[in-house]
Amino acid sequence: MTQSNPLRAGLRLARTPAPCTLIIFGATGDLTARKLLPALYNLAREGLLPNGFSLVGFGRRPWSDDDFRAIMRQSAEEHSRNKPLNEEVWRNFAEGIFFVGGEFGDDSAFQKLAERLASIDAERGTDGNRLYYLATPPSSFDDIIGQLRHVGLNRSGANPAYPSGWTRIIIEKPFGHDLESALDLNQRVGRAFDEDQVYRIDHYLGKETVQNLLVTRFANTIFEPIWNRRYVDHVQITVAENLGIGSRAGFYEEAGALRDMVTNHMMQLLTLTAMEPPVRFDSESVRNEKVKVLHAIKPLQAAAVDRYTVRAQYGAGSVNGEDVPGYRQEKGVAPDSRTPTYVALKLEIESWRWAGVPFYLRTGKRLAKRVTEIAIEFKRPPLLLFPEIRDDIQPNVLALRIQPNEGITLKFGAKQPGQRMAIQAVNMDFRYGTSFGVAAPEAYERLLLDAMLGDATLFTRRDEVEAQWSIMTPILDRWKEQNGTPLAEYEAGTWGPDDADKFMQQDEGRTWRTL
């Protein structure tokens, strides 16, 4: 008989939350089907959900509990990383799935929800613990939050029978569309929920490699001593997508690349790369250090926006051998649209650690491949020993690949075999799949579990959101002033516009990494 590892068992038990009910508003949508339900099923399969865990879907469809269970089963079968479906796990999991139909502004529907939650507390032993998930467009936030407050479901201990029960709310991005709207939304949320109840989710923070960035820096003595301006030449953060906008034209026309990717995902990657070591690994300490980075970023005034940002739109081209239309030819896009699908920018962090080290960010649709990466490029050595091959020596680079093929690569110089002195760049690679032999959990698995546990480390705090928008809003304002200026275009399937290459070369001849 194989004996269990008591340490491993203890760690597993420590990560099992208290019994609770998760209520998903917008449960009939794509996010629930593709991400949330599969993540919950995978947590159940791994024994990480508490006994009595219950899921309540809230949406406009006239579904019964059985209808919702059948649709959720199909979602698990199609989108779970664990296939095939484990029938025993699903049977136990499905017993706790329910559905409440109604409009987000309907008083009676929320009263019905309150009654159903009280019933679940009594029947399934969920102790009055509730976690709300707003998987809806931001236009519905007001109605939902207002109704929760109206029927008294916003308070911890909302069920009088369980005065110690907790209540939390997860809010999906986009969290505002500029600084003013973010401040307004924070105030409206704050009227119904305390800040420690609010979990603003950015799924990038749930990715294993993003979390591993902290371990790479702070659990290894070889990296942190050189993670500063004395040794680092610059940092490049790339979030590239080879897909177009698909059916999201309505959203993307309003958002564009800066709002869609830079303000949230990429700023999170930047803060984790640049932050100081926290005094301890808890939610407040980690988020305090991230906010300090945002406050240290040098604001871009109008002239700096012109010099340190590039925006462009994809034209027709070929991706993976398939001809694709330009952005303005996509369904639902205005023929004269000026929405940028590509953004590159340079940011400077005015801190003791990073003064003088530029951070370059680039993101775009319909680029050559799908890849997300953080690359730390180190300064070149003096090279006094090798003057005759000075130009052949490439800088050292530590690259953290977020997706796909998650892992870390260290590039350094090595002598080529032979009688003459020749140096060639070689890579030392770590890959999650080959090193651990298991698939990494999906980001939503980690984030949903953390929210149930009350661990907000990987969620965005109110002041963090506002600091992000305070950096990005001046850029958006300047671009708005330049509405008459022609927007650069790049061919689909390339790495972006020529202006982005010139933008890098003007900075001491630097170049974007070839990925």
| Cβ-Cβ contacts under 8 Å for 21 (sequence gap 6 or more) | 53, 54, 55, 56, 117, 120, 121, 124, 126, 129, 130, 131
Contact 26, 136 (CB under 8 A): yes
Q: Please give the angle made by the CA atoms of 420, 422 and 428, to the nearest 5 degrees.
A: 135
Look at the alpha carbons of 305, 201, 218, 285 in this order and tell me if their dihedral is positive or negative.
positive
Q: Which pair of structure tokens corresponds to residue 27?
A: 């449960």
Residues 189-225, buried b or exposed e (16+ Cβ, 10 A)? Answer: beebbeeebbbbbbbbbbbbbbbbbbebeeeeeeeee
Catalytic residue among 177, 203, 234, 265: 265
What distance in Å separates the CA atoms of residue 124 and residue 327, rounded to the nearest whole number?
50
Contact 310, 488 (CB under 8 A): yes
| 378, β-bridge pairs | 232
Check if 265 is active-site. yes
Strand 54-59, strand 97-101: pairing: parallel
What distance in Å separates the CA atoms of residue 171 and residue 202, rounded to the nearest whole number?
9
What distance in Å separates the CA atoms of residue 259 and residue 163, rounded to the nearest whole number?
40
What distance in Å separates the CA atoms of residue 136 and residue 158, rounded to the nearest whole number?
23
Q: Which residues are catalytic?
A: 265
